[in-house]
Amino acid sequence: MSANSPSIERPALKNDRYLRALLKQPVDVTPVWMMRQAGRYLPEYKATRAEAGDFMSLCKNAELACEVTLQPLRRFPLDAAILFSDILTIPDAMGLGLYFEAGEGPRFKNPIQSKADIDKIGIPDPEGELQYVMNAVRTIRRELKGEVPLIGFSGSPWTLATYMVEGGSSKAFTKIKKMAFAEPALLHALLEKLADSVTSYLNAQIAAGAQSVMIFDTWGGVLSPRDYKLFSLQYMARIVEGLNRESEGRRVPVTLFTKNGGMWLEAIADTGCDAVGLDWTIDIADAKARVGDKVALQGNMDPSMLYAQPERIEQEVADILAGFGEGTGHVFNLGHGIHLDVPPEHAGVFVDAVHKLSRQYHK
């Protein structure tokens, strides 16, 4: 099925509080989901991944990607599902040869090193090289049966570029910063291609059934304030401007998340996004005071808090809810992905605490 196929008849959404909170509309309780909620902390995920053979085979099998997307929803009363995929699907589709080294994370066989490398890559066709992602979106929407909304996502152009130029994960980011400062025109050419690719990719996810989208700028925080705006934020703003914001008769909210981006909240809020994701290094009361009613906020409990005893987890949830205070516009989440060795029952305590303790703030 292509993005231009006739629209599929879909059941009405039974729980839309996540979408409502992103649009600052009234809700009964604060909605909650977790970054990496489908993942290695769940034994059933490990079993499904073993069945798939490896991580990318799991991503490329629509039925298995759907299965792991739904697994956390069977355990916990989460308010949203998030597409099971990877941020590096776009560079992989550009022919960079993504593979995963045991203990080292993602690597590329053909990293970007020159103008010729950038000239060679094209904008991937979301219903061509990336059709497996759209197939997963369609399958998940069908199997969700309208229970909760589905979040689609992409990495930001800057974050994708860091992996593509460094050849994988990095601690110092010397190769991409060398390109940024010695050959800025080269990096901007790459970022422009990536911004066009992400826009096309997210619009295709929306057409396939994603009801909200999120851009993960994992490495924006390694830049100086000036360079963050130059190499990361302006390209995310360009994507926001190019996204289809209406689908199936309702608005499709967009969330931007820059890890370690707390100093730039006002600038992120000015992009036209609906919500700003917060990591745990900023106090949510301060964040709310700074952005006012301009955007919703998502976050922001330290993922490591899930190692604590249940009563400590509940106290942390209570403190963050109190920090945000009354009214809508808060989607509760961790400040980054859940750790792989967190006891699943602790995640359950967290989700239940958000619903139970937030009711008093929504009268």
Whether the predicted pLDDT of 2 surpasses 70: no
8 pLDDT band, cuts 50/70/90, is low
The mean per-residue pLDDT over the stretch 83-97 comes to 97
β strands within 34-124, DSSP E: 81-82, 98-101, 105-108
The pLDDT of residue 5: 44
SS3 331: strand
- State the DSSP code for 231: I
| 36 part of the active site | yes
Is 290 labeled as catalytic in the residue annotation?
no
Q: In the prediction, which pLDDT does 7 show?
A: 52
Q: Is residue 192 part of a domain?
A: yes
Q: Which domain holds residue 282?
A: 17-361
Catalytic residue among 49, 75, 238, 290: 49
Question: Looking at the predicted structure, is the pLDDT value of residue 6 above 60?
Answer: no
What pLDDT is stored for residue 194 in this prediction? 98
**Per annotation, catalytic residue among 10, 36, 251, 312:** 36
Q: Is 175 among the domain residues?
A: yes
d(CA 85, CA 341): 20
Q: Is 228 within a domain?
A: yes
Q: Are the C-beta atoms of residues 42 and 72 closer than 8 Å to each other? A: yes
Question: Could you tell me which residues are annotated as the binding site?
Answer: 36-40, 86, 163, 218, 336
Residue 11 lies in a domain: no
Q: Does the annotation mark 86 as catalytic?
A: yes
Which residue numbers belong to the known binding site for substrate? 36-40, 86, 163, 218, 336
Residue 6 lies in a domain: no
- The residues with which 101 forms a beta bridge, in sequence order, are 105
Among the options 41, 45, 163, 228, which is catalytic?
163
Q: What is the CATH number of the domain that holds 72?
A: 3.20.20.210
Kindly state the average pLDDT of the residues 19-27.
98
In a domain, 59, yes or no: yes
Task: Single out the residue of 333, 295, 293, 331 nearest to residue 30, CA to CA.
Answer: 331
Task: Give the pLDDT score at 10.
Answer: 85
Identify the band that residue 138 occupies on the pLDDT scale cut at 50, 70 and 90. Answer: very high
End-to-end CA, the chain: 44
Q: pLDDT averaged over the chain?
A: 96
The tally of domains found in the chain comes to 1
User: Residues 330-336: what's their mean pLDDT?
Assistant: 98
Which of the following is catalytic: 16, 20, 45, 86?
A: 86
Active site annotation includes 17: no
Contacts of 179 (CB under 8 A, 6+ apart): 165, 186, 187
Q: Taking residues 158-168, what's their average pLDDT?
A: 97
Span 197-228, pLDDT tens digits: 999 999 999 999 999 999 999 999 999 999 99
Q: What pLDDT does 211 receive?
A: 98
Task: Assess if residue 9 is contained within a domain.
Answer: no
Q: How far apart are the C-alpha atoms of 32 and 311, rounded to whole Å?
A: 18
Helix 62-75, helix 43-52: angle, nearest 10: 170
Q: Is residue 8 part of a domain?
A: no
Catalytic residue flag (residue 141): no
User: What's the whole-model pTM score?
Assistant: 0.96
Q: How many CB atoms lie within 10 A of CB 30?
A: 25
Region 275-280 average pLDDT = 98
How large a percentage of the chain has pLDDT more than 90? 94
